[in-house]
Amino acid sequence: MDTRYIMDADRFLQHNWKTINDLRNEFAGHIQSAAVKFATQNLTDEVGAVTWKPDLTGWKTGIDCDFAGIILAGVISSKLQAGGNVKTEFSKAFEVISEGFNLARFAMVALVHAFLWDRFGR
């Protein structure tokens, strides 16, 4: 069973790697300049606030930037401008992300199980 989880995850990742990589690059910090240009050119009169919310524990900075969320929404919109059905494209992206997450999670459980069995199960 453990082997099947690992192999299923590997097959899925190999088959969907380009899509996963593109989604990661666009939505997880590697935003491309063309997407930002699209976002800023297609924004209306959006405004946002930068709010200082200090964290007394010192573990995080505590700045909320509303405008960054607006830019990110524009960047996501830029990826859906290929002329296709936006709902279909979004559903496909969400399916790849969620299925990839689930398969990776199952594979990690299998790897931990295999490690623990190898280490302590004998």
Q: Indicate yes or no: pTM above 0.85.
A: no
- Give the burial string for 50-75 (b: 16+ CB within 10 Å, else e): eeeeeeeeeeeeeeeeeeeebbbebb
**Could you report the per-residue pLDDT of 14-24, keeping only the tens digit for each?**
999 888 887 77
Q: Is the pLDDT of residue 66 over 70?
A: no
The number of C-alpha atoms within 13 Å of 5 and in the hemisphere containing its C-beta is: 16
Contact 9, 108 (CB under 8 A): no
Write down the domain spans for the chain. 2-120
Which of 39, 119, 120, 33 is closest to 75 using CA atoms? Answer: 39
Q: Is 35 helix (H, G, I), strand (E, B) or coil?
A: helix
Higher-confidence position of 120 and 4: 4
Tell me how far apart the alpha carbons of residues 90 and 51 are, in angstroms, rounded to a whole number. 31
Give the pLDDT score at 29. 61
